[in-house]
Structure 1
Amino acid sequence: MAITYSMDSLKEKLGEILDVIPRHSSVVYLDYPLYGNVGDLLIMKGTEAFFKAYGIRVRERWNAENFIPGRNIPKNVIIVCQGGGNFGDLYPHFQQFRERVVQHYPDNRIVILPQSIYYENEENIKRTRDILTAHQDLHLFAREKASFQFAAERFEGLKNLRMMPDMAHQLWPIAPSENPSASVLRLIRTDKEANSTLQTAGEPDTYDWNVILSDKDKRGIKRLQTLNILNKKAGNPLPIASYWRRYSDSLVSKSILFFSRYESVVTSRLHGHILSCLLQKENVVIDNSYGKNANYYNTWMKDIPNTKLIQKDGTKTEKPPVHA
């Protein structure tokens, strides 16, 4: 029997992560995003909300640029790696960072929060498999069915693999910041995951995360990134994670306000879709270049009211609207 998910049940499902990160446990949180991709910031905010909701103590927070593998972490502390969509060889910097962490901490439990998985190179798949399966207490959460099936088939020997929705669902529900004053927001990605056959960037009133953020916002991000590098050279005396938490709160709040101004959303950004659902806005999600958005939608979101998917062949899923 097919399982029907709601926004309430997706948030509740995240509670199953407590099987491997128990309530009131101590963790080191790695790979938080120190950049302006609002989707990744929503994942980070959801992760922090999860920690707070279940009394999980975060001893340290490190991004991929300022953490030095080999740093002493007590064996009873769980290492938690940020979830998202950069597991694989499309974004090698972040994948290589995770793999170094797995290799350096064989005696700690390591939990990789929900990730979409994508590889282009066979040798990279084998390398990841060998590193992950060598660790005896590693737990990987796949973010949708396609990634789960890939990991189950290609990372043979991986003992602890489960499927879990994106951590941003922990933020449910989000109240709109103001009433809508415009009709449709088009949030269309312009990076390597753009699907040129389904989306048209550059049309009037088309945005991406980097357009929503102001030049002042971007300068602030750049200053913190520079400070982060200098801080590492000095031995990390400054609490960069604390500075970034406050600053990124303002970036997320600004994005929520921007979305709130529209009645509905058309987007090729997965977190444009998720944020729309968190705000209970009607939305259409366009698949990305390798099927991530469609896989996620079909795994978790197809029964959420007032949502539609445009697939690779250009067809749109249809379902009757539901009004509160």
Structure 2
Amino acid sequence: MDECKVGMEEIMSNLEILKSVIPKKAKVIYLEYPIFANVGDLLIMKGTEEFFKIHELQVIGRYTKNNFNYTKEIPEDCIILCHGGGNFGDLYSVHQLNREKIIESYPDHKIVVLPQTIYFENNEHLNRAKQIFNQHNNLHVFTRDKRSYEFAKEYFTVNIYLSPDMAHFLWPLSYSSEIKNNVLYFLRTDQEANNGLQRMQFCEKSLDWGSMLTLTEKALIKIIAAFGKLDKLLNNVLPIAAIWKKYSDYLISKSFKVFSEHEKIVTSRLHGHIMACLLNKENLLLDNSYGKNSEYFKAWTYRVTNSDLIQIDDQQEKLESSQ
């Protein structure tokens, strides 16, 4: 068997820990699923939905942060699932505050935060999160790297676990396309960009999630998100989740096509790296601004033999060899 496949299957085996907290055929409600142009978050969402299917979970509802009503009555035997990703902390405060509000609103329910990277810059924000999280008696937080795990164990008294990202549930992935180009430079253009690693000669010819989509595609995302806000006012009568499922399938398929047409991927996007691994593409992962990518690689994807990592600025030879 291909060594890369062995590595991916080893990562998949570590996702079994989810079953200890979310039993097969359990009744769940899925909160905070993303409606925006970051296809990485859409991969997490699709992997989560695959987890639901594999374990025959009874999903009684799916809500974004825009259309969920915090006074909604949820059956006592229903597990509340919060979307995973890299927004646990104060770098993306809107998502963190929303998660804290969910935890405050349902003190008697079992709540599971799906695999997250944790990063706080402000102690005041951390202390607020500690107070809210530690008051809950049945809260389970999955972290997706060892640094986040140790941080959570130090500051939170809730149940803490270590698990790979939910996007790995998409493995094995059957998608192929004719190779048309050598290297795809897929680099962050936001606040997490590590400018010391992202050389300007690469940035000029690189893509990011936003630049991969057309203006029309991004406009449609905004329209669907706007209808999500309207849906809350209408007491959730609109089929937002069903509409978004179809459109997000299209966005992910387009991303797969772009990646598949390249022989090698150089990326500072964690899910650019995970997508390359899912497609069994040779890839080089550049660290982000605060070490999220390197921590994930060291925890899980170091097993994937056609992947490599750059953490420091003096490894120019790896970058040059990728051209």
TM-score normalised by structure 2 residue count: 0.93
What does residue 229 of structure 2 align with? 229
Name the SS for the 2:303 alignment partner: coil
* SS class of match (1:206): coil
Query: Do the aligned residues in 2 keep the contact of 1:309 with 1:317 (CA within 8 Å)?
Result: no
8 Å Cα contact 1:27/1:59 also seen in 2: yes
Q: Report the Cα offset of residue 316 of structure 1.
A: 7.9
Deviation at 1:313, TM superposition (A): 4.0
Partner of 1:267: 267
Q: Mapping of 1:76-87 within 5 angstroms?
A: 76-87=77-88
For 1:190, the equivalent position in structure 2 comes to 189
- Give the 4+ runs in structure 1 shifted more than 6 A: none
Distance 2:222 2:270 in 1: 25
Q: CA deviation at 1:101?
A: 0.6
| Alpha-carbon distance between aligned partners in 1 of 2:65 and 2:314, rounded to the nearest angstrom | 37
Counterpart of 1:23 in 2: which secondary structure? coil
Greater displacement, 217-226 / 261-270: 217-226
1:147 aligns with 2:126: no
3-state SS in 2 of match to 1:193: coil
Letter in 2 for 1:21: I
Give the Cα–Cα distance (whole angstroms) in 1 for the partners of residues 135 and 216 of structure 2. Answer: 45
Q: Which residue of 2 aligns with 1:308?
A: 308
State whether residues 273 and 283 of structure 1, in contact with CA within 8 Å, keep that contact through their aligned partners in structure 2: yes
- For the residue of structure 2 that corresponds to 1:290, the secondary structure is coil
Match of 1:51 in 2: 52
Name 1:110's counterpart in structure 2.
Answer: 111
Report the equivalent of 1:37.
38
Write out per-residue CA displacement over residues 203-258 of structure 1, whole angstroms, 9 at most, x where no aligned residue: 44310011111222111101101211222222221011111011100000110011
Cα distance change on mapping 1:317 and 1:94 into 2, 3 Å: farther
1:287-322 residue CA offsets vs partner (Å, 9 max, x unmatched): 00000000000111112111110103443898xxxx
CA distance in 2, matches of 1:291, 1:312: 10
Distance across 2 between alignment mates of 1:108 and 1:230: 27
Measured after TM superposition, the shift of residue 173 of structure 1 is 1.8
SS at match of 1:126: helix
The CA distance in 2 between the partners of 1:314 and 1:127, in whole Å, is 39
Flag the structure with higher helix content.
2
Whether the aligned pair in 2 keeps the contact of 1:144 and 1:295 (CA below 8 Å) is yes
Query: Aligned partners of 1:225, 1:106: CA distance in 2, in Å?
Result: 28
Query: Residue type matched to 2:216 in 1?
Result: K
Alignment of 1:175-186 (within 5 A): 175-186=174-185
| Higher RCO (CA < 8 A, seq sep 6+) | 2
Alignment root-mean-square deviation, CA:
1.5
Tell whether the 8 Å contact from 1:310 to 1:317 is kept in structure 2 after alignment.
no
**SS of residue in 2 equivalent to 1:114:** strand
Amino acid at match of 2:302: K
The one-letter code matched in structure 2 to 1:192 is Q
Supply the distance in 2 between the matched residues of 1:314 and 1:242 (Cα, whole angstroms): 47
User: Residues of 1 paired with 2:187 and 2:313: CA distance?
Assistant: 18
- SS for the counterpart of 1:175 is coil
Task: Give me the whole-angstrom Cα distance separating, in 2, the residues matched to 1:80 and 1:235.
Answer: 21
List gaps (5 residues or longer) in structure 2: 1-5, 319-323
Native 8 Å contact 1:308 1:317 kept in 2: no
Structure 2 partner of 1:174: 173
What amino acid sits opposite 1:176 in the alignment? Answer: Y
Return the alpha-carbon distance in structure 1 between the equivalents of residues 314 and 224 of structure 2: 41
Tell whether 2:161 aligns with 1:162: yes
Structure 1, unpaired ranges of 5+: 319-324
What is the match of residue 322 of structure 1?
Answer: none
Q: TM-score, normalised by structure 1?
A: 0.93
